[in-house]
Amino acid sequence: MGDENPRRSLGDYSRLSHEGYRNTIEVPNGNDLAPLRSDTIRLVQNGCSFHGFRSEDSNQHLKDFLKIMDSIDLNVETRERTRLRLFQFSLRDQASNWLERLPAGSNSTWEDLTTRFLAQFFPPEKTSKL
């Protein structure tokens, strides 16, 4: 039997590695998952970027994102998966960092993702100020 925990040097720990990285968004399985087109990704990036600044409106970001999604001819069966796959491209800076810090696979539905997003960027204390 091999050693389950091989000895590693300090240098081994300092090397960059993507091993073990999993996306925080877990897209439900399906046979009809088409590759994302680069022009669609650019449309999302340029049409509705959210940085996570206090001055930004997270509700408006979701509305803008959904407006873009509605402009794309989406099959009803693939709509949620496409939203999940493209949402990460609409986030920048602090917002992107927030998404990457979530546990791997913790967002498997659009409802999960938007609930967490609004809890982070539109907390109850912001609501009470309005």
**Rg (Cα) of the chain, in Å, rounded?**
18
Q: Token pair 């925990």 is at which residue?
A: 5
**69 within domain boundaries:** yes
pTM of the full structure: 0.74
**59 within domain boundaries:** yes
**70 within domain boundaries:** yes
Does the pLDDT value for residue 64 go beyond 90?
Answer: yes
The single-letter code of the amino acid at 30 is G
Angle between helices 38-47 and 79-87 (to 10 degrees): 70
Tell me the average pLDDT across 68-92. Answer: 87
**Contact 89/46 with Cβ under 8 angstroms?**
no
Tell me the residue range of the domain where 46 lies. Answer: 36-129
Domain CATH number, residue 106: 1.10.1200.30
**18 within domain boundaries:** no
pLDDT of residue 118: 94
pLDDT of residue 129: 55
**9 within domain boundaries:** no
